[in-house]
Amino acid sequence: MKDTVLDKYIPIGTFADSPQYTNNTEKKLYVETYGCQMNFADTEIVNGIMGKNGYDVTENIDDSAIILLNTCSIRENAEYRIYQRLNELKKLKKQNSKLIIGIIGCMAERLKRGLMTKKSVVDLVLGPDEYRKLPSLIDNLVDNGEKGIAVRLSRVETYEDVIPIRKEGVSAWLSVMRGCDKFCTYCVVPYTRGRERSRELEGVANEVRKLWDEGFRDVTLLGQNVNSYQSGDNDFADLLKACAIAAPEMRIRFTTSHPHDLSMKLIETIAEYDNLCNYIHLPVQSGSNRILDLMKREYTIDHYLSIMNNIKRIIPDVTLSTDIITGFCTETEDDHKMTLDVMREVKYDGAYMFKYSPREKTKAWDMGDDIDEEIKTRRLVDIVELQRDISEEKNKETVGNIYDVVIEGLSKKSDKMLFGRTDGNKTVIVPVNGSASMTGEKVKVKINRANSATLFGEVIHSI
Ligand code: 5AD
Ligand code: SF4
C-alpha cells in the first residue's frame, strides 16, 4: 500500500477522538470476499445487516473504518492467502490503530480464538451463523476496546429476514439452504458451516420475483447441497418450480448438488420449465469406486453415470460441469485413469479441479496424505489438459448455432465487446452494437468461433 493512499485514512483518525461514528462517512465498511459463491452471498447479507445498523458499504478499502475478510477454509491454500492478506493489512493498522479488522466466514469458524494471537491485527472473529452480532461486537470494541469473537453454529439461522445489499447488475446469488450433513471424509464444510437448514419456500420464491422487479435477469440458488432443501413437505424440485412460476422470465440456476440426492423429479422439473436453466453442476470427485468409498460419497460410478444419462435424455442441450479432487489418499494410477475415463464418457462442458488438501478434523485427515506433491501436480495437469480439450471440442460444436444470450455488461478485456451467458452457462462475447447499452437484454446470438473457455458471436436481434 502506498503512503499517498494512506492519507485517505485521516477521517478514521478523527473517529479515534470520540465521539465516534458521528456520521456515516465514519461508519464505512469494506468486505473482501474469498472462496465459494455462498461466501459472496453471505457478504451481501453482512452488508444488509450492517446497512440496517447505519453503516455505509464501500468498495474502496482506503475509505473504510472497518475491513472484514470473508474467508474460506476448503483447502490449505485458501487459508494461506488470508494470512498473507493479514500481513499486508498490518501496515494499514500501523498507520491507524483505530482501523478495525475482522475475520468472518469459514476460517473464523475453524480457527476461532487462534486468529487472535497477541501479535495478530485481528479485532473480530465471526463464524458464518453469527453475523447478526457484528454491530454489537463493533460497538463493544469501539466503546470498551474489547476484541469480539462469536463462533457458535446454529441449527436454525438462515438470515431469512435480512435484506441483502447486492451490487446492481444482471445476475444475483440467493442462498436457499445452509450447512451440510454429508460429511464427505475430505471436507471441512460440515464443521465450518454446521448442520443443514433451509429457508421457507414462499420467502425464496418472493425474493426471486423481487429480484426480477429490481432488474436482475439471472439468479443462482445456492446451498452446500441444494438437493437436501426441505421446507415443510416441499423439496428442492418444488422450490425450483415455485421460483420458475414466480418469475417466469427470470433465468434460474442452482449450485451445488450431491449425486446421491439428485432426483428424477428434479430433472423432470428442470425440463418442464423454460426458465430453469439447462445447466447442472454435479461434482463427481473421482472416477474410482474405491476412492469414492474412502471419500464416503455414497454413490458408485455406475450410479453417477446413470444419473448423467437420465439428465442428458430428459434435458436435451443440457450443459454439465463437475468438481474433481486429484491425489486423494491412496489414489493409484489406475484410480486416476478411471477419473480420466469418466471425464471422457460424460464429456463435461467444464470442471473445477483441485489437488487434495488434507484438512484437520476431517476423517480423511487420519488417513494420511500419501501421494507425493509431484504426482498430485502431474495428475492435476492430466485432468486439466483433458478437460481443456473436451471443453474446446464441445464449445466448437456450438459454432453456427444461435443461442439466447443475456448480456451482462462490457467484456473485461475490451470496451468494444460485451459479454453474456447462454442458458447453459457458457460465456459469450459479442461486439458492442452502436451506442445502445444492451446490459440486461436477452438477445439472439449466432456463434462464429469458440475456444475452450469462451464463445464468440454476433447479435442477430433482441428478443
Ligand atoms: N481438498 C481438495 N479439494 C476439496 N474440495 C473440498 N474439500 C477439499 C479438499 N480437502 C473440493 C471438492 C468440492 C469443492 C467445492 O472443493 O471438489 O466439491
Ligand atoms: Fe463438503 Fe461433501 Fe458437503 Fe460438498 S457434500 S460441502 S463436498 S461434505
Q: Which ligand is nearest to the CA of 262?
A: 2
Question: φ and ψ at 241, to 5 degrees?
Answer: -60, -45
Class of domain 310-397: alpha beta
DSSP 10: H
Q: What's residue 122's pLDDT?
A: 97
Q: Is the CB of residue 258 below 6 angstroms from any atom belonging to ligand 2?
A: yes
Give me the residues paired with residue 428 across strands: 420, 455
Residue 55 gets which letter from DSSP? P
SS3 38: helix
Closest by alpha carbon to 134, among 145, 121, 148, 144?
A: 148
322 grid coordinates: 463437475
Average pLDDT over residues 453-457: 97
Instruction: Please give the distance, rounded to the nearest whole angstrom, from the Cα atom of residue 62 to the centre of ligand 2.
Output: 36
Q: What is the mean pLDDT of the chain?
A: 92
Q: CATH fold of 11-150, please?
A: Rossmann fold (3.40.50)
pLDDT at 4: 26
Average pLDDT over residues 158-173: 95
Q: What is the mean pLDDT of residues 45-57?
A: 96
Strands 56-57 and 28-33: parallel
> Fold identical between 169-277 and 310-397?
yes
**What is the residue with the minimal CA distance to atom 13 of ligand 1?**
323
Residue 180 Cβ inside 6 Å of ligand 2? The answer reads yes
When pLDDT is averaged across residues 248-265 and rounded to a whole number, the result is: 96
Residue 193: nearest ligand to its CA? Answer: 2
| Nearest atom, ligand 2, residue 183 CA | 8
Helix or strand holding residue 353 (H, E): strand 350-355
- 3-class DSSP string for 237-297: HHHHHHHHHHCCCCEEEEECCCHHHCCHHHHHHHHHCCCECCEEECCCECCCHHHHHHCCC
**With contact defined as beta carbons under 8 Å apart, do 95 and 9 qualify?**
yes
Q: Which residue has 444419462 as its cell numbers?
A: 309
Q: Does ligand 2 come within 6 angstroms of the Cβ of 295? A: no
Does the Cβ of 75 fall within 6 Å of ligand 2? no
pTM of this prediction exceeds 0.85: yes
β-pairing verdict for 402-410 and 442-450:
antiparallel
β strands within 182-238, DSSP E: 197-198, 218-222, 230-231, 234-235
What is the model's pLDDT at position 7? Answer: 24
> What would the pLDDT profile of 54-79 be if each residue is shown by its tens digit?
999 999 999 899 999 999 999 999 99
Q: Which residues contact 447 (CB under 8 A, 6 or more apart)?
A: 398, 399, 400, 401, 402, 403, 428, 455, 456, 457
pLDDT at 141 over 60: yes
For the chain, the domains span 11-150, 169-277, 310-397, 402-462
Q: Distance, CA 335 to ligand 1 centroid (Å)?
A: 17
Architecture of domain 402-462: Beta Barrel (2.40)
Separation of 1 CA from ligand 2 center, angstroms?
37
Instruction: Tell whether the model's pLDDT for residue 394 goes beyond 90.
Output: yes
So what CATH class is 169-277? alpha beta
Ligand 2 atom with the smallest distance to the CA of 180 is 3
As a whole-number percent, the residues of the chain with pLDDT over 70 amount to 94
Q: Which of 418, 430, 424, 419 is nearest to 394 (CA)?
A: 424
pLDDT, residue 435, reads 56
Query: Please, which pLDDT band fits residue 117 given cuts at 50, 70 and 90?
Result: confident
CA of 128 to the centre of ligand 2 (A): 16
Mutational test site, ligand 2, from 109, 177, 189, max ligand atoms within 8 Å of CB: 189
User: Using CA positions, which residue lies closest to atom 5 of ligand 2?
Assistant: 182
Residue 20 has pLDDT above 60, yes or no: no
Tens-place pLDDT, residues 81-111: 999 999 999 999 999 889 999 999 999 999 9
pLDDT at 313: 98
